[in-house]
Each structure stands twice: as C-alpha cells, then as structure tokens.
Amino acid sequence: MIFSKEYVGYLARQTVKQLMAEKMIHSEKPAVLNERVAEGMIEELSLEDRINDEVRVILEAFQDDMRKTGASYPEMFKKVKAELARKYKAVL
C-alpha cells in the first residue's frame, strides 16, 4: 500500500468529519464510524498489493515454461496483472 495506516486513518477521520459537517451522514458514535471507514479504505488501497502477490504466485507456477519460451517476466507480470485487475473489476 502506498500510504501509511496512520495517514489512511487521518483521511478517514477527515472524510467522516466533512460528511457530518455537510449533514450527509449522522452518527451517534463517530469514533466507530472513523474506524470502519479507515478499514474500508485500507481494504481498497491494499487491493493492488494482493493482486501483485497473486501475479507472483501465478508466474512462479509457469516459470519453467516462460524460460523455455523466452517470455519476459516484466512483460508477463503486466499482462497477468491487467487480466486480474479486469477479473476483480479493479481500477489501478
């Protein structure tokens, strides 16, 4: 993830604060809401990391075939990552 968890927590607090100020949401327990928003943001922001890990596992399984055919690892990484992003309907 490109942001620290502390920064994501800050973003979540500011988002909740702004939404409450604009009366778009209401909560009796803003601390709980801040925590839930932060968890959701962390989950979404870490999606690319999880996709990258899955790509590495896939390419490791096909490592011998790639060597035999002379396929470029970086090129294959990009292709598999794009395919998984499409599969998960992720915007990276």
Q: What is the mean pLDDT of each run of 10 residues along the chain (92 residues)?
A: 92 96 94 96 92 96 93 95 94 83
The pLDDT, as a whole number, for residue 83 is 96
The pLDDT, as a whole number, for residue 54 is 97
The pLDDT, as a whole number, for residue 92 is 81
The pLDDT, as a whole number, for residue 2 is 85
Residue 12, number of CB atoms within 10 A of its CB: 20
> Rounded to two decimals, what is the model's pTM?
0.71
Alpha helices in the chain (DSSP H): 5-21, 30-45, 47-61, 63-69, 73-87
The pLDDT, as a whole number, for residue 91 is 85
